[in-house]
Amino acid sequence: MGTLTLDRQSVVPLYYQIQQSLLRQIRSGELMAGSPMPSEQEIATRLGVSRMTARQALKSLCSLGVAYSQRGKGTFVSAVKLEKNFRQVMSFSEEMGQRGSQPSSRVLRFEKAEPSEEVKEALGLIAGEKIIRLKRVRLADSISLCIECTHLPLRFFPDLPEKYDPQTSLYQALGKHYGIQIELADEVAEASVATAEEAKLLKIRAKAPVFRFTRTAFLRSGQPIEFVKSAYRGDRCRVVNRLSRQMKQLV
């Protein structure tokens, strides 16, 4: 705490400077799991900010799950681990990159097409609307990991075929060329066994266990923007999730 001096000329908000400083102290071990964070009043006094600003810094850490508050007692560092690879909205390329594996793709199809009923409903398409379909075998370090079939509404990406190399990261291309940020995805996972065709593409034996995923990705507004069906080798994949209590207020 002692060493931090705030930059009041910076465009970076004060509460964010404070949050980052506290985060550094947690990572460095200066603030240990279970130990109390500096109180709102203490931060306010020491750094010469208002209590509301100090509070905003602490609350942002709570909403990240890094800390938790107890009325009348204080705010404490959570023992919950930060660095885990939780399943987030992540493309195959991003996920492999984070794991330190080299992602690559074998493109099976990349075309404009008519949507199936399932795709139509998931993407909220109007009658007659077309899609872009991209079917790939995805590999990590040259090992086939999954078969992935992505469906995008054509109207959002009319010139994707010219702009995008299907060997590369789709999410990156969507961000770069269309300014699209995926914020949310709903995903259904099923445990199943490989069909003959899947087995061949994934180089496993037929009826070996596979994960089947059905994922719909959304913009912040709730607009569905991508629908993906995929099959992952069961022997090489695990799904790690962090589950929390929430939505009590919604019910």
Partner DNA sequence: AAGTGGTCTAGACCACTCG
Partner DNA sequence: GAGTGGTCTAGACCACTTG
Binding site for DNA (CB under 7 A): 13-16, 37, 39-42, 48-53, 55-56, 58-59, 69-75
User: What does 56 interact with, of its own copies, DNA, none (CB < 5 to 8 A by kind)?
Assistant: DNA
The helix (H) or strand (E) run that includes residue 163 is helix 160-163
86 lies in the site for its own copies, by CB under 8 A:
yes
User: What does 175 interact with, of its own copies, DNA, none (CB < 5 to 8 A by kind)?
Assistant: none
> Distance between CA 131 and CA 117 in Å, rounded?
12
User: What does 21 interact with, of its own copies, DNA, none (CB < 5 to 8 A by kind)?
Assistant: none
Q: Considering CB under 8 A, how many residues would be counted as binding its own copies?
A: 60
> Distance between CA 134 and CA 140 in Å, rounded?
18
Among the listed residues 108, 109, 150, the one whose alpha carbon sits nearest the alpha carbon of residue 131: 150
The beta-strand segments (E) located in 67-127 are 67-70, 74-77, 103-113
Report residue 78 as tokens.
């959570």
Please answer whether residues 211 and 189 qualify as being in contact, where contact means their C-beta atoms are separated by less than 8 angstroms.
yes
Q: Which is nearer to its own copies, 104 or 216 (CB)?
A: 216
Instruction: Report CA 80 to chain centroid distance, whole Å.
Output: 19
Stretch that binds its own copies, among 1-9, 41-49, 133-141, 240-248 (CB under 8 A): 240-248
Q: Which is nearer to DNA, 51 or 177 (CB)?
A: 51
Q: Which is nearer to its own copies, 134 or 185 (CB)?
A: 185
Q: Which is nearer to DNA, 18 or 96 (CB)?
A: 18
User: What does 72 interact with, of its own copies, DNA, none (CB < 5 to 8 A by kind)?
Assistant: DNA
Among the listed residues 103, 105, 78, 80, the one whose alpha carbon sits nearest the alpha carbon of residue 93: 103
C-alpha distance from residue 124 to each of 127, 134, 175, 186, 228 (Å): 10, 19, 21, 14, 14
**Beta strand 209-218 with 184-193: parallel, antiparallel or unpaired?**
antiparallel
Using CB under 8 A as the criterion, which residues of the chain lie in contact with its own copies when the complex forms?
19-20, 23, 33-34, 60, 63-66, 68, 76, 78-80, 82-84, 86-90, 181-193, 207, 209-211, 218, 220-223, 232, 234, 237-247, 249-250
